[in-house]
Amino acid sequence: MAKTSVRKEKWTLSFDPTLKRLVTQAAKRKGVYPVTLLEDLVRERFNPYGHTDVKDSRAYVAALRKQARGQSDEEFLAELRVWQKSPSS
C-alpha cells in the first residue's frame, strides 16, 4: 500500500505594503517568522479567554490591567455573574 502524504495548504495573502513592512519589522524584533506572528495574533483574537496560548505573560497581564482601569467594580461583578451562569463554567 502506498502512503498518503499530508498536503499542507498554501495561502497567499495580499495586503498593504506598509502593513507588510510593519509585520516583518515586528517579527524581526520578536525573532519569529512573520507567518508565526500573524498566526499568533489571529489565534489570540479568536480565543479571547484562552490564557494557555499566551506567549508573553508580562504583556498579557499589563494589557489586562490597562483594560480593567476603565471598568467599574459593578461592571466587573456583573461580568463575573454572567460568566458564572454560562454553560462553559
Model confidence pLDDT, tens digit, residues 8-58: 777 777 778 898 899 999 999 999 999 899 888 888 777 766 666 677 778
pTM score above 0.85:
no
- Are 62 and 47 found together in one domain? no
Q: Tell me what pLDDT residue 31 has.
A: 93
Residue 3 placed within a domain: no
The count of structural domains within the chain is: 2
- Are 23 and 34 found together in one domain? yes
- Are 47 and 70 found together in one domain? no
What residue numbers bound the domain in which 61 lies? 56-89
Residue 61 placed within a domain: yes
In the chain, where does DSSP find H-type helix? Answer: 17-30, 34-46, 57-69, 73-85
- Are 60 and 76 found together in one domain? yes
Give the span between the Cα atoms of 55 and 58, in whole angstroms. Answer: 9
- Are 47 and 65 found together in one domain? no
- Are 44 and 61 found together in one domain? no
User: Cell triple for residue 31?
Assistant: 525573532
